[in-house]
Amino acid sequence: MSNDDAYELWALLGEQGKAPTQIAKANEALNIYSVGIQPWIDRLSKTYLKRLCKSNSHFKLVIAPYGGGKTHFLVSLGGRALDENYAVSYVACSENIRFDNCFEIYRSFLNNLTLPGLNGTGLSTLIEEWIIPHKLKTIREKAPDPEKAIEMWLNTLYRKDFPEPTFARVSATAIRELMDTESAPTGDAAFRWLRGEIDTLTKNEQSVLKVSSISAKERNEFGRRLLLSMCIFLKEFDLNGVVILFDEVETLFNAKGKALLRVLSAMRVLLDLPVGISGGVPLFAVFSAVPDVLEQFSKYPALQQRMAVAGASFGEGNNFAPQLDLNELGSQKEFLNSMGLKLLNLGETATDHTFNKQIQSENILRLAAVAANTDLDVNARRLFVKACVNILDQQIAVGEREYSESELRERYRGSFDLIKSSEEEEMET
């Protein structure tokens, strides 16, 4: 990692205490200060990425308190999925991006779609930098008449069957324009349709593409069909499948009464959506949430049963357990101490400062003990990262020294107050 990239990560951890979510850029960053999660990532990769999800869909729920490393785990898994040749998308749930609004889920999924070895995201990157180069290379290596073979492939794509019936011809139209095999004035309209910008299409563009307007009532189901279609479509272009990382799922369960039941029902529908699709859907979807959501599942037995752990937990070695409780990763104090030592190395790369290892090892060990033994309404990991980086960074300017346990406790508490204040401001805006 370059000095500038390390300093950017150092600043992010000092300000927010949490992992970046841009999958392609975050992969290297997370490896620098990740601790303890790699054995679980390895197990998921061996069981699902290397085998099961190449042909069928599987789902997991990552559980941890606020600040407990859920985003870090998701993004680390996303980085591994890129290494295993999957397309990956990070989807942060919110008031608008929710399971009972699958059209917005699809739009967010496509906007954040990341491909192996590429820095860009979204539809343009997918078609211009992945689909066309990979397909053209394959055709030119194998076909005696590449131009004719390209046209035959596009015509075949145009007629393929997908869960969304119009998906094939619209995607073929978008690709055709960029390949310049013939004039395709509706290519831009096809791009907008695939991105979910369906309200921007004129009547004439709809007519040429042979698509209809989609009413508000129809859009949830339309979004589901688009999501399934895109997952199946991507498999055709030298990818093993698709990984979707749904973060902050707990934000959806603030609803009450019938509204909550709609969210629960929609989540269950999403889990069962690939069932019965001919040929299977190559998808690994991982949700993250705080433990409280498990209580909400009890209000919808079909979902509760779908996500229930039977027999051993994942932490006990059951790779097929639907839940991954990050609290089962091991001793909190040892975990935090190891992470602090990695942050110390990151700080030296970022700032070009050589720390006194003896002094800082003692500070980190005491801070880890404080974090593990302090009972706040968030998990220790995010607070520890934020406090550790700020303490180290301050000492570069004012000089290194050992901190007492009481002083570290105050600084740790101060990091909690800053995070809490920041999150309250975000909820109000």
pTM of the model: 0.89
- Residue 428: the pLDDT is 44
CA distances from 74 to 60, 87, 209 (A): 11, 14, 38
Measured distance CA(85)–CA(201) in Å, rounded: 34
- State the Cα–Cα distance between residues 427 and 421, nearest whole angstrom: 10
Spell out a b/e string for 265-292, using b for 16 or more CB atoms within 10 Å of the CB, else e: ebbbbbbebbeebeebbbbbbbbbbbee
CA 29 – CA 5 distance, rounded (Å)? 8
Are 71 and 21 contacting, i.e. CB atoms less than 8 angstroms apart? yes
Name residue, tokens 């998990």: 379
Distance CA 18, CA 398 (A): 25
Query: What is the bridge-based pairing of β-strands 241-247 and 283-289?
Result: parallel
Q: Are 242 and 234 in contact (CB under 8 A)?
A: yes
Burial 118-141 (b: 16+ CB within 10 A, else e): eeebebebbbeebbbeebeeebee
Are 290 and 63 a contacting pair, CB within 8 Å? yes
* DSSP helix/strand/coil, 66: coil
pLDDT by position in tens, the chain (length 429) = 788 888 988 999 998 887 678 887 776 666 777 788 999 999 999 999 999 999 999 999 999 888 788 988 999 999 999 999 999 999 999 989 999 999 999 999 999 999 999 989 999 999 999 999 988 888 888 888 988 998 899 899 999 999 999 999 999 999 988 876 455 567 789 999 999 999 999 999 999 899 999 999 999 999 999 999 999 999 989 999 999 999 999 888 887 888 889 899 999 999 998 988 988 999 999 999 999 899 999 999 999 999 999 889 999 999 999 999 998 987 788 888 999 999 999 999 999 999 999 999 999 999 999 988 876 544 578 888 989 999 999 999 999 999 999 989 888 887 555 444 444 444 444
How are the residues of the chain apportioned to helix, strand and coil, as percentages rounded to the nearest 5? 60, 5, 30
Structure confidence at residue 185 (pLDDT): 62
Which run of H or of E encompasses 116? none
Q: Determine how many CB atoms are found less than 10 A away from the CB of residue 88.
A: 27
Per-position DSSP letters for 242-274, written without gaps between them? EEEEEE-GGGGGG--HHHHHHHHHHHHHHHHTT
Q: In angstroms, rounded to a whole number, what is the distance separating the alpha carbons of residues 107 and 131?
A: 19
